[in-house]
Amino acid sequence: MTRTARAFTNIALIKYWGKKNKQWKLPYTNSLSLTLDRFYTDTKLTIIDSDKDIVSLNHKILNDQENKRILNYLDTVRKLYSFEDHFQVDTVNHVPTSAGFASSASGFAALAGAINETKQLNLNRQELSILARNGSGSASRSIYGGFVEWIAGDSNETSFAKPIDETPKIDLVLLSVVINQQSKKISSTNGMENSVKTSPFYPNWVTLVASELQEIKQAIAKKDLQKIGEIAEHNAMSMHALTLSANPSFTYFAPETIRIIQIVKELRQKGIFAYATIDAGPNVKIICTKESLEKVQTYIEQQLSNVNTVIANIGSGIQYV
């Protein structure tokens, strides 16, 4: 049996940064994201008569070292759901891989969906979110569209995402500024671990997230675009402050990242709606309105000739194709 699932990336407006349980990928804090329609992963899964899984990414078969994370995940799923089948996994990523564009979120959400369909597990979306989280924490949120909250929980059964508003009638558009599509030198997993262990500000981060999460949910309910932008930008800068205050310190920023943050502030001084958010990578996502989008895009392209911009709208949850 063969089934194909499509999952879209999400951008965390309230970030997830730090695991309290590595085995189940349980975060220290809740987080909140927006699913996007521009970047996505298609994963086709086929049950094969073999004692070994075969994994291909973008039409290239991976060796055991390259696909170690996926193989470990499939072993975990077999134990969780008590079956012994092995699979051929064919994944096509329409996302820059490991560059701060949530490729693991869409990737593991699509893989979880394909497993659910191929094995006919009949999981509801909460259970599917749990299954996706076992591959990548942020994948738990890509099961749903629109605004999504990931509940941290304290066990495999209690940590899952839930929708806040899957089809929000809100004037938000995201402009992704692609500085670098190369894989980052420090993985999100290692970056989180270093920040949790060594940043003196990590306890403050946990407190900040709890406060800003409530504020942004209220802003979403009121469709207060400015408040959403302000909170998202501050939360992103606070997360990256953890990397700078870790020991040894590190950053995902490139020189162009800093310049784009400055440009966003210049735009606001001109009365143009623009707020920045950045995941674990150099690439910047700018929260715009439909009215401000063209002005923001034009200004950035005038200021920086060596970047690409990609427009993304609010996306939907997992699909089967």
* Span 168-213, pLDDT tens digits: 999 999 999 998 777 788 999 999 999 999 999 999 999 999 999 9
Cβ–Cβ under 8 Å, residues 260 and 297: no
Are residues 144 and 121 in contact, defined by beta-carbon separation less than 8 angstroms?
Answer: no
pLDDT at 255: 94
What average pLDDT does the segment 147-155 reach? 98
What residues does 165 pair with on adjacent strands? Answer: 147
121, 138, 168: which is the final residue of a domain?
Answer: 168
Based on the fold, state whether residues 23 and 59 are members of the same structural domain: yes
Query: Residue 87: beta bridge partners?
Result: 47
Q: What is the pLDDT of residues 9-24, one digit of tens each?
A: 999 999 999 999 999 9
pLDDT at 183: 76
Average pLDDT score over residue span 239-250: 98
Amino acid found at 242: L
Partners of 33 in the β-ladder: 12, 148
Mean pLDDT of the chain: 95
Q: Phi and psi of 5, rounded to 5°?
A: -120, 145
In a domain, 236, yes or no: yes
Strands 54-57 and 86-94 turn out to be: parallel
Residues 156 and 222 in one domain: no
Domain that holds residue 30: 2-168
Non-local (6+) Cβ contacts of 63 within 8 A are: none
Q: Report CA-CA distances (Å) from 195 to 236, 261, 268, 278.
A: 14, 22, 31, 16
Q: Judge whether 317 lies within some domain.
A: no
Same domain, 213 and 159: no
* Bond before 203 cis per omega within 30 degrees: no
What sign has the CA pseudo-torsion 259, 264, 270, 272?
positive
Tell me the Cα Rg of the chain.
Answer: 19
H-state helical runs in 165-224? 188-198, 202-222
pLDDT given at position 47: 97
Q: So what's the pLDDT on residue 64?
A: 84
Q: Is residue 321 part of a domain?
A: no
**Over the stretch 274-305, which tens digit does the pLDDT of each residue have?**
999 999 999 999 999 999 999 999 999 999 98
Residues 57 and 87 in one domain: yes
In a domain, 98, yes or no: yes
Which of 113, 136, 168 is the C-terminal boundary of a domain? 168
pLDDT tens-digit series, residues 59-98:
999 998 889 999 999 999 999 999 999 999 999 998 755 4
161 and 180 assigned to the same domain:
no
- Integer angstrom CA distances of residue 137 from 147, 277, 304: 16, 19, 33
Whether 28 and 41 map to the same domain: the answer is yes
| pLDDT for the residue 99 | 45
Count of domains observed in the chain: 2
- The residue out of 121, 136, 168 marking a domain boundary is 168
159 & 281 share domain: no
Among all chains, which residue has been given the structure tokens 């993985």?
187
pLDDT digits (tens, 9 = 90+) for 90-145: 999 987 554 445 589 999 999 999 999 999 999 999 999 999 999 999 999 999 99
